[in-house]
Amino acid sequence: MSLVVYLAAFVFGMTSVVLFRRPRTAARRNPLTLSTCAAIVLGALVLVCAAPATLGTVNALTGVPNFGAPLTYGMLSAYSCSVLVLLIHWRGGSRERVRRMVLRSVAAYGVLVVAIVVLFLLAEADTERLTDLDTYYANTPFMREMILLYLLGHSAAMLVMCAVCVKWGREVGGVLRTGLRLILVGALLDLVGFQLAKYTAVVARWAGHDLDFLSTTLAPPMASLAALLCSAGFALPRLQPSAVAHWRGLADYRRLAPLWYLVRSASTAPKPPATWWQLPQARLQWREVSIHDALLALAPYFDHRVRERVRDDALRAGRSPHEARLVSEAAMLTDAARRAAAREEPPETPGTYRLHATEVSGTGGLVELAQALHRPPAARDGAAPSSLTGSVSEPEEPHVA
């Protein structure tokens, strides 16, 4: 069982690493990111502390039987508090109101943690129990109160979480609503699969019955699954915008491939290290800078007669002025790349013409120019041959990522 719990804790904790990785400076200053990471890390620590292997190690190192119990219960209470703090920051409001509610939550659960430790010190729990402590000591003075107290504290946090998710879920939409639904499912699974099972097993002991399997067999995996669902719900609204941006960046990176393979020999931009894990946005930024550098180097080779002929032919073919401009610029650029590769003299038609791709911000203009390389320029005699554009329609594999 320890291996399963450790695996769940690892997956749980990795979410905070992803959230906190970029940008680090902004993350440290964002209370919402900090509270999200704190809740996820504490949830992972609860799972680690609750594993029988960890409990046995802690008991052996401290020399106190069942010392892992107040440690785990205190950690669970801290996790419950962090969940409430996260919901407070997520909900937002005035700075003073948020600060006041956070302080109240921390104070309440701070008292709860102190009470758990005091009750454990007052109790007589000399027999080590790694998996069934809640039911074994269900009738032991002070241990009974400690067990009930940590369960009630965690239940209060989960009930508040469910209420907030249901109420707020009616007011928002999109990925935020999806995240709230995941949190709600996780909280309900925690309430029913973990806490109700624990309550039932403990009350059964009070009544003289044995339903320990609910506490020892059913509750732990339900708690792990609930924690993972809540983690996904917390992280999804934070990660989705970045994931969408990187997905779009990857798409634009690939769309720029025809243009890049046409002009890359003219680029003098320094090449980044070829790392497979480099994010799409970083790859796109480097490719965009390199293409602009190459366009600047090829500008002296632009033959405006080619551009004008292809533009006129495209207009006569029924294309819009914008499409005609893109196709003519693609033909002129292809001709310029051929001249530069063959080390020919620049044409005798110098000018200050600017490509559409250099007039607009972002990668949109470059993507349009790259796509125009695939379009037949409807060339007449004397225009740039279509074979020049066709030669880059199937680019070779990139040498640098």
pLDDT in tens, 44-73: 888 888 888 899 999 999 999 999 999 999
Chain centroid to CA 177:
16
Separation CA 253–CA 251 (nearest Å): 5
Residue at token pair 């624990």 = 198
Q: Whats the size of the chain, residue-wise?
A: 401
Share of the chain above pLDDT 90, in %: 31
Amino acid at residue number 260: W
Per-residue pLDDT at 146 exceeds 90 = yes
What is the average pLDDT score of the chain? 82
Separation CA 271–CA 370 (nearest Å): 21
pLDDT in tens, 153-181: 999 999 998 998 898 888 887 888 888 89
Per-residue pLDDT at 233 exceeds 70 = yes
Residue at token pair 């039911």 = 135
What is the structure's pLDDT at 384?
41
* 47 neighbors 72 (Cβ within 8 angstroms): no
User: Residues 283-312: what's their mean pLDDT?
Assistant: 87
pLDDT in tens, 366-396: 888 888 887 655 543 334 444 334 334 333 3
What is the structure's pLDDT at 382?
38
Per-residue pLDDT at 87 exceeds 60 = yes
* 142 neighbors 122 (Cβ within 8 angstroms): yes
User: Residues 271-282: what's their mean pLDDT?
Assistant: 64
User: Residues 243-266: what's their mean pLDDT?
Assistant: 84
Task: Among 19-23, 128-132, 212-216, 231-235, name the one with the lowest average pLDDT.
Answer: 19-23
Residues with Cβ < 8 Å from 230, sequence gap 6 or more? 43, 83, 182, 183, 186, 187, 190
Per-residue pLDDT at 114 exceeds 50 = yes
Angle, in degrees to the nearest 10, between helices 219-255 and 364-372: 60
pLDDT in tens, 10-22: 766 666 666 655 5
SS3 188: helix
Residue at token pair 């939409």 = 173
Domains and CATH numbers, the chain: 2-246 (1.20.1070), 258-390 (no CATH)
pTM of the model: 0.65
Per-residue pLDDT at 96 exceeds 70 = yes
